[in-house]
Amino acid sequence: MSGDLVAVWDVALSDGVHRIEFEHGTTTGKRVIYIDGKEAIRRDWMFKLVGKETFHVGGTNTKATINIDAVSGFTYEYTLEINGQSLKNYMENRSKVTSTWLLNLDGIDCRVVLGKKYLVTGCSNEYGEFVDDGTETHFTLSDHDCCIKAMSSGKRRDGIIHMLLVDGMEISESE
């Protein structure tokens, strides 16, 4: 990467956190996008210094767009959109529809993402059951017994809460 690095974003998707870096050469017209340290797009000698660059991120091929806007003179503003939403709105909406836990099992970093709409994790070995205080979704990761419990918070405003248990131990949800 050169000295033209103007923006860096960390984007949490269902397959992990991806780092997006953007270089913008305002004298050369160069635009370079790096995803997780690898060059994804390079455009040299762009005559128009403002505009958009659209690309895809992660294993889910999530659509991302960098907007390049002139603020004043030779000052530019760079914003990132994910699936047509500002990064901030995307992350806020994502936390409403998913719960995410980060943990280390047997020296391997794992990410468990629960889709709240259908209460699925995407693990091939999962099964769900109704229990006295809600539901439980059971699955295994690296020979560890895992369970996501969904139960009422007891407060109408908070709704349903989700807890991840690994071998009976509660794991804190990630932000």
The CATH number that applies at residue 36 is 2.40.128.180
78 and 103 inside one domain:
no
76 and 137 inside one domain:
no
Find the largest Cα–Cα distance for the chain: 66
79 and 142 inside one domain:
no
Q: Rounded to two decimals, what is the model's pTM?
A: 0.69
140 and 117 inside one domain:
yes
In angstroms, the CA 13 to CA 91 distance is 9
The pLDDT score that the predictor gives to residue 78 is 95
Structural domain contains residue 124 = yes
73 and 140 inside one domain:
no
**Structural domain containing residue 100:** 95-171
- Within 13 Å of residue 34, how many CA atoms lie on the same side as its CB? 17
Which phi-psi region, left, alpha or beta, contains residue 107 (left: φ > 0; alpha: ψ -120 to 50)? Answer: left
In angstroms, the CA 11 to CA 140 distance is 27
Q: Into how many domains does the chain fold?
A: 2
The pLDDT score that the predictor gives to residue 6 is 93
The pLDDT score that the predictor gives to residue 82 is 96
Structural domain contains residue 66 = yes
17 and 40 inside one domain:
yes
Structural domain contains residue 136 = yes
Residue where a domain stops, chosen among 83, 115, 134: 83
The pLDDT score that the predictor gives to residue 121 is 67
Residue where a domain stops, chosen among 34, 56, 83: 83
Structural domain contains residue 129 = yes
The pLDDT score that the predictor gives to residue 173 is 84
In angstroms, the CA 145 to CA 31 distance is 47
Structural domain contains residue 90 = no
Structural domain contains residue 88 = no
The pLDDT score that the predictor gives to residue 175 is 63
Q: How many helices and strands, by DSSP H and E, does the chain display?
A: 1, 15
- A 10 A CB-CB count for 53 gives 19
Stretches where the chain sits below pLDDT 70 are 1-2, 118-122, 124, 175
Structural domain contains residue 89 = no
Structural domain contains residue 34 = yes
Residue where a domain stops, chosen among 52, 83, 114: 83
The pLDDT score that the predictor gives to residue 36 is 96
In angstroms, the CA 171 to CA 101 distance is 7
